[in-house]
Amino acid sequence: MLHAHQLQSGYGLSQVLFNVSLDIQRGEVVALLGRNGMGKSTLIKTLFGQIPLTAGTLTFEGQSIAGWDSDRIARLGLAIVPEGRQCFPNLTVREHLTAFAAHRNPEIRTPWDVERVFEMFPRLRERARNMGNQLSGGEQQMLAIGRALVTNPKLLVLDEATEGLAPLVREEIWQCIARLRESGQTILVIDKYVERLMKLADRHVILERGAVVWQGSSAELDAQRSLWTRYLGV
């Protein structure tokens, strides 16, 4: 589905990514791992056209998207739950879930809509009339996921999926990701909780100083615990 080969990008004269290659197949859950500052969010921004690609190739479903604007990339069926949630303070929960509704993945048998998101996150139903800035951090994360889901994406990207969340809310997010995986949703997820990601992800990719230093299955990552100390600080 997504093929990135030898990507290079950065900010002005400061290069951050060095020949990063990443492949995501339809129906896969891929975890992007690495310490803070190693280029994970920069890679996500590059995939979504928020940072210009300076070298390499980037295709989605066989079509080159290098140099495309972010909105055009999104309309192909990519959706992101951004780091920091970025909910709109002046929109209600329901308005978030209706303003961005689309049907970008015809393969989804039961399209995501407001009611289906409320079934996934009952707390959002209770807060349907509240503005984005009236929600707790956990509620904002649920809303950010719901906002992405109602676009019915082909590829869902979660940047720092459970960062800063209370344990109970974090568990709810993990359960949501597990349900999405069971439904066949293709996912790229960034998070620091490696033990949980090993139960969810098919493959893992580790970034170190803007370069891919390892990739493999959950079983392979579990068998090489030295990688955790070396690259993940676990």
152, part of any domain: yes
Average pLDDT over residues 224-232: 91
Give residue 6's pLDDT.
97
| 127 Cβ contact partners less than 8 Å away, ≥ 6 residues apart | 93, 134, 135, 139
197, part of any domain: yes
Give residue 109's pLDDT.
86
Indicate the pTM of the whole model.
Answer: 0.94
Average pLDDT over residues 188-195: 94
Domain holding 31, by residue range, is 26-35+69-204+212-232
Give residue 13's pLDDT.
87
- pLDDT of 36-79, one tens digit each? 999 999 999 999 999 999 999 999 999 999 999 999 999 999 99
Average pLDDT over residues 99-104: 94
> CATH number of the domain that 100 lies in?
3.40.50.300
Give residue 162's pLDDT.
92
Give residue 234's pLDDT.
53
217, part of any domain: yes
- pLDDT of 123-149, one tens digit each? 999 999 999 999 999 999 999 999 999
Neighbour-count burial for 16-51, b at 16+ CB within 10 Å, e otherwise: bbbebebebeeebbbbbbbeeebbbbbbbbbbbbbb
Share of the chain above pLDDT 90, in %: 92
Average pLDDT over residues 223-233: 90
115, part of any domain: yes
